[in-house]
Amino acid sequence: MDLEDLIKGKHHKHGHRHDDYHDNHGNAYKHKDKHFSKGYRHGNYKLEMLRSFLGSLPHKKALLTGAIIFGVFILIIGIAILWMLFPLIIKLLGYVEANGIQGVVNYVLSLLQLFWKGNG
């Protein structure tokens, strides 16, 4: 089975195809509505192709569970990084409040000059 077969939805669990309707161009659609006449809804062709591809995957529950676990893990890591950087953010905001934007710009420019000269 090729990747194109998966995208076109030719892979079925029980080995049979559903009764599809065909329009004048040979495109299959499952509904008699005019909105579905080209195999996609209201011009969302890429979204429908992605849905068809995801619907044809054999282990989609495991993939969805893995994606949810991965997303929660990334969210927890992001919150932990913000938690660790919170004191630094507070110090930076205090520095900006005390010296203003011009003081921050002057400090950054002096650091860049040190790095440019090789002393930083």
Each residue's pLDDT tens digit, 90-119? 998 998 899 888 988 999 999 999 989 887
Alpha helices of the chain — where are they, by DSSP H? 3-8, 45-55, 60-117
Each residue's pLDDT tens digit, 20-78? 555 566 666 555 554 444 454 556 778 888 788 777 777 778 888 889 999 999 999 99
Is the Cα dihedral 91, 100, 104, 77 positive or negative?
positive
Q: Is the pTM of this model over 0.85?
A: no
The residues pairing with 23 across neighbouring beta strands, listed in sequence order, are: none
Give the integer Cα–Cα distance in Å for 62 and 74. Answer: 18
